Every structure is written in C-alpha cells, then in structure tokens.
Amino acid sequence: MSAHIPVEVLGRYAAGDPGIAPDVLWATETHLERCADCRGRLADASDGDTVALLAAVWVRVEAARTTAAPTTARRRWLPARSARWVTPVFVPWLATTVLVVLVALGFDLAVAGRHAAPPSLVVLLAPVAPLLGVASAWTRRLDPAHELVVATARAGLGLVLRRTLVVLVVVIPVLAVAGWLVGASPARWLMPCLAFTAGALALGRLVGLPRAAWGLALLWAAVVVGPSIVTARLPVLLTEAALPGWAALTVVVALALVPRPGGYAELR
Ligand SMILES: [Zn+2]
C-alpha cells in the first residue's frame, strides 16, 4: 500500500457520494481500516452534520445494546461459512449458464449427422461459459449484499478467487457432460475455458470484473463464434493443436495475478 486516499475521493466519500466506482469504494474502505492518517483526514473532511449524526447513532446503539434481550437466530438457508464461497446472486446466473449450455447441446444434437453441419455450439461457447458466473462474483449492481461483503476483512482477490472456483466447479462438469454427448474431447475446450476465466480476473482488476467478463465474452462471440457459424468451420483456436498455446496463455495470465494479491482492494 503506497498511496494514501486522494483528497478528491476522500471528499466524495465523506459526502456519501453514491457515484464512487465500486472498486474505488472498496479500496478506500480497506485503506481506511489500516491507515490512521486517512481516518483522521476523513474526520476533518466530514461536516458538522455528519459528526453530530454519528454521535446520535452511537448513543442509540449503546442504549439498544444495554437493553436488548438476547434473540434467537433465524435459520439460514446457507450456513454462515458458505458466504465466503457463494453468494445467493450466483444461483440465477449459474442457472442461466446451464440453460445456455443445454440450448447449445440441443442445437448440436439437432444438426448432428447432417451434411455440412456447423461446428459444435457447445465447443464454441465453452471457453466463455464460466464468464457469466464470474461476472457476478464481485459486483455492486448484481449483489444486494455487496456493501456488507466490501466491508469484510476478507474482501479482495481471495474472495473473488474462491467464488470463481465455485463457478468452475458448477460449470465445468455441465460442459463435460454436454461435450461428451456431442463427442467433443475436453482437450478442445478446457484450457480455453481456464484461460478466459483467468483473463477476466486479471482484466477485472483494471476495469472491474463484470466489464472484463462481458468484454471478453463479446470479443470471443464477435471474433470466433460468429465467423465460425457463418463459415461452418471450427476455428483453429479450438483444435487440439492450439492446446499448448492456451496452456501457456493461462500460466502467463495467472502469474500476472499473483504478484499483487491485494489487487482487488488496492487504491489506484
Ligand atoms: Zn492513508
């Protein structure tokens, strides 16, 4: 952590500006937890109303704490520990991903055996299939609990990686079964799949995870999926000959993620 919070960001934060970008907000709050100087600057930047409001809130919190009776916790449908791995937001996005793979599978099975059949849609879509879930791993717009997550000490790359792992654990078996049904070896799609996931995480640190994931998916659709369907030929990128290239790319991108593990919670 080299930089302190810029004056302009601190001012907007103190004023409660809702327009602060989520990654900036996350980095700001993480930094505030660790930096007494910036906490002092925040106190100076806050206006009298905010300080008075905080004081009033503390009086009520203290009063409630001393008078409240212990309550019985409600049963949760997810155990508390699982929140580190999944968020309920995942469910609709993972369901959508599975549905997309099933539609692609249905298309493949429908055209199978035909003369001049187009290349397998399952194989064409597999490299970007996890990106829908990855996009929802860390985003303010899709996750109602985002503010709580951002405030936790474990927020950051570790949390994003754990959630990404959950996405892969769900999506890869579905792709494996669909690929097996259309006779496509995992060698053709598994490495591209991992390369795109790692790429989204690396890019996400720069431009935000949802933007990175959607950008890569659209790029793949425009450059590879579209032309392959039009020309009815499997792109060379998805043949087994391209496997070493994908493996090398995955390693390079993963190494780019390693040196700065705090990247998702750092001030820029
Ligand atoms: Zn500071």
Does residue 238 contact residue 179 with C-beta atoms inside 8 Å? no
Ligand 1 centroid – CA 50 distance (Å) = 21
- Residue 27: per-residue pLDDT: 85
Share of the chain above pLDDT 90, in %: 8
Ligand 1 centroid – CA 224 distance (Å) = 45
Does residue 238 contact residue 188 with C-beta atoms inside 8 Å? yes
- Residue 268: per-residue pLDDT: 46
Higher pLDDT, 258 or 124: 124
Q: What is the DSSP string of 130-195?
A: THHHHHTTS-TTT-TTHHHHHHSTTTTHHHHHHHHHHHHHHHHHHHHHHHHHTT--HHHHHHHHHH
Does residue 238 contact residue 130 with C-beta atoms inside 8 Å? no
Average pLDDT over residues 47-70: 79
Ligand 1 centroid – CA 163 distance (Å) = 29
Ligand 1 centroid – CA 42 distance (Å) = 10
Report residue 153 CA to chain centroid gap. Answer: 18
Ligand 1 centroid – CA 204 distance (Å) = 24
Ligand 1 centroid – CA 41 distance (Å) = 9
Q: Where in the chain are the domains? A: 7-67, 80-265
- Residue 218: per-residue pLDDT: 93
137-160 pLDDT per residue, tens: 766 665 666 666 665 655 667 777
- Residue 164: per-residue pLDDT: 84
Q: What is the DSSP string of 105-144?
A: HHHHHHHTT-TTPPPPHHHHHGGGTTHHHHHTTS-TTT-T
For the cut 90, the answer to whether the pLDDT of residue 186 exceeds it is: no
Average pLDDT over residues 15-20: 84
Ligand 1 centroid – CA 33 distance (Å) = 9
Q: Is the dihedral of CA 251, 253, 254, 258 positive or negative?
A: positive
Does residue 89 contact residue 143 with C-beta atoms inside 8 Å? yes
Ligand 1 centroid – CA 208 distance (Å) = 23
Ligand 1 centroid – CA 6 distance (Å) = 9
**Mean pLDDT computed over every residue of the chain:** 80
67-113 pLDDT per residue, tens: 766 665 555 555 556 666 666 677 888 888 899 999 989 988 888 77
pTM of the full predicted structure? 0.65
- Residue 144: per-residue pLDDT: 62
Ligand 1 centroid – CA 22 distance (Å) = 19
For the cut 70, the answer to whether the pLDDT of residue 201 exceeds it is: yes
215-251 pLDDT per residue, tens: 999 999 999 888 888 888 888 888 878 888 988 998 9
Ligand 1 centroid – CA 209 distance (Å) = 25
- Residue 1: per-residue pLDDT: 44
- Residue 259: per-residue pLDDT: 63
Share of the chain above pLDDT 70, in %: 79
Average pLDDT over residues 178-202: 87
- Residue 216: per-residue pLDDT: 92
Ligand 1 centroid – CA 21 distance (Å) = 19
Does residue 96 contact residue 132 with C-beta atoms inside 8 Å? yes
Ligand 1 centroid – CA 30 distance (Å) = 10
Ligand 1 centroid – CA 267 distance (Å) = 10
Ligand 1 centroid – CA 151 distance (Å) = 17
Ligand 1 centroid – CA 154 distance (Å) = 19
Q: 77: left (phi > 0), else alpha (psi -120 to 50), else beta?
A: alpha
Ligand 1 centroid – CA 40 distance (Å) = 9
**Model confidence at 264, in pLDDT bands (50, 70, 90)?**
low
